[in-house]
Chains A and B, each alone.
Chain A
Amino acid sequence: EVQLVQSGAEVKKPGESLKISCKGSGYSLATSWIGWVRQMPGKGLEWMGIIYPSDSDTRYSPSFQGQVTISADKSTYTAYLQWSSLKASDTAIYYCARPIPAAPYHWYFDLWGRGTLVIVSS
């Protein structure tokens, strides 16, 4: 089955660090990017960034540049989203998704993970 498997829900305190993961299976991972999308409680979708695990080429939305780090493990084709110091405003569901290139560097998402809920509260 073609799917993206995300790590489980997290409850953290402000100031703590966190790294969540996303692993694809059932398709050719060696030539695939993985993207991240945020959905804050009761809100819409926000495109965060995208990574090519094979060489770690990473593109960020300006809104998230410097706020999070997207990384990947080439050996397992797993993508990660991490924070060095969480804030309450980072509370959200974070989805990973498989980007399909309509042209080089122009992607839409055709496969989504189930999401990782991150709650940041003191």
Chain B
Amino acid sequence: EIVLTQSPGTLSLSPGERATLSCRASQIVRSSYLAWYQQKPGQAPRLLIFGASSRATGVPDRFSGSGSGTDFTLTISRLEPEDSAVFYCQQYGDSPFTFGQGTRLEI
């Protein structure tokens, strides 16, 4: 089973700053099958990024994904207060399709 480790656990930043969230896999993620989700309190997760770098429909271009192999990054430029949430990465290259433990972003 591929273990995804996200860092940092919590990130506190100010509006307008840039956030960099990391997701490291215990094995190579096949074909960059890596997604990112945002979950706000009391809400279901929302897909942000798939295929490591493709934005989902309706996701602002402030959100971008990069990486390959075992190291992936979600970058949020020009932070806004509504970006406060927990962010999860998920690999879907090898079953079971695992999630990281999450990074809490506080604005």
Contact = CB atoms under 8 A, between A and B. Distances in A.
Contacts of B99: 44-47
Contacts, number: 66
Contacts of A109: 35, 37, 45, 47, 90
B44 A95 contact: yes
A47 B100 CA distance: 11
A27 interface: no
Contacts of A95: 44-45
Given A102-B50, A103-B31, A112 B45 contact: yes
B92 A106 contact: yes
13 contacts: A37-B45, A45-B39, A47-B97, A62-B1, A100-B50, A102-B50, A106-B30, A107-B97, A108-B35, A110-B50, A110-B56, A112-B44, A112-B46
**Residues of A contacting B: mostly:** strand
Interface residues of B, number: 26
Contacts of A13: none
Given A47-B99, A97-B45, A111-B47, 11 more contacts: A47-B97, A47-B98, A61-B95, A62-B96, A108-B33, A108-B90, A109-B35, A110-B47, A110-B50, A110-B56, A113-B44
Interface of A: 37, 44-47, 59, 61-63, 95, 97, 100, 102-103, 105-115
B69 interface: no
B92 A102 contact: yes
A108 B50 contact: yes
B101 interface: yes
A41 to B, nearest CB: 13
